[in-house]
Amino acid sequence: MKLCRIETPDGIKPAMIDADGAARDLTQHLTDIELATMAPAALDQLRDVDVTALPVITGRFAPVINDIRRILCIGLNYSDHAAEAGMDVPDHPILFSKLCAATGANDPIIIPKDSEKTDWEVELAVVIGTKAQHVSEADALSHVAGYATFNDVSERAFQIEFGGQWVKGKSCDSFAPIGPYLVTADEVPDPQNLDLWLDVNGTRRQTGNTRTMVFSVAEIISFLSRFMTLLPGDVIATGTPPGVGMGFKPPVYLQPGDVVELGIEGLGDQRQEVIKFNG
């Protein structure tokens, strides 16, 4: 299934994508796509819905879950991205978090005040569906509700040049576009064989495949579950392939008026216009 949330004149409505790519209104079956929806039993109930009998709705994609619990991120998880960043391939997954609210797949990227180095990162996002605590790699994927396209927008000066942790360069408003939809895990038989891409102003900047991750999705979930209990609604952004702006010589960063387009095989595409902070 492909589940999403659609902004309409009557508010945000839960929806399911049909075989032709149209969004079908799910409000007669549930009030929203939320933490409870991620439970296996709840997803099984939705699988029994006749999507063709639901009304078509149109509007802007909202974040795929209304109450994302937290956004956990893995850094330098593609060896060629680590090389372009001038950093060593890590021995263990590098964890940081994004403390901003998620935004819809096509919502604008806002260049923060005083930013000169706002950057892009296409990533596979994993949405946890059931509690995961000290899980093995063999069992890790059974805790996944689904997958989504994610743009880990980053401000490199804030992230690297101001000392301390990366969080401050990752948490500016609009820095977590997710979606357009959540693809349930049963429709992604191998999360380690998905093509990723990202364009800026029509020029291809990133091309990759999840098979080149340093740490697989299963390894990441197992590793994180040793140190924290993962719960429904947790989102894990699993790292980016090479081609980010700071890796160019000289670096290339986003400017107001730019258009960022990105996608992951089977998980849908995003399109974000870049605008200047106005506050």
Question: What residue spans of 75-211 are helical by DSSP H?
Answer: 79-84, 137-140, 156
If residue 47 lies in a helix (H) or strand (E), which one and from where to where?
helix 40-47
pLDDT digits (tens, 9 = 90+) for 157-177: 999 998 888 999 999 999 999
Q: What is the pLDDT of residue 89?
A: 85
Q: Please give the share of the chain, as a percent, with pLDDT higher than 90.
A: 92
Going by C-alpha positions, the residue among 232, 182, 240 that lies closest to residue 210 is 240
Q: What is the pLDDT of residue 163?
A: 86
Enumerate residues 6+ apart whose C-beta is below 8 A from 191.
124, 126, 141, 144, 147, 210, 216, 217
CA geometry: angle 179, 167, 33, nearest 5 deg: 25
Report whether pLDDT(102) > 80. Answer: yes
Report whether pLDDT(88) > 90. Answer: no
Report whether pLDDT(94) > 90. Answer: yes
Mean pLDDT for 33-60 is 96
Q: What is the pLDDT of residue 121?
A: 98
Q: Both tokens of residue 231?
A: 């719960």
Mean pLDDT for 104-112 is 98
Q: What is the pLDDT of residue 147?
A: 98
Distance separating alpha carbons of residues 279 and 276, to the nearest angstrom: 9
Q: What is the pLDDT of residue 99?
A: 97
Q: What is the pLDDT of residue 165?
A: 87
Domain with CATH 3.90.850.10 in the chain: 70-276
Mean pLDDT for 190-209 is 97
Q: What is the pLDDT of residue 227?
A: 97
Distance separating alpha carbons of residues 16 and 9, to the nearest angstrom: 18
CATH architecture of the domain covering 70-276: Alpha-Beta Complex (3.90)
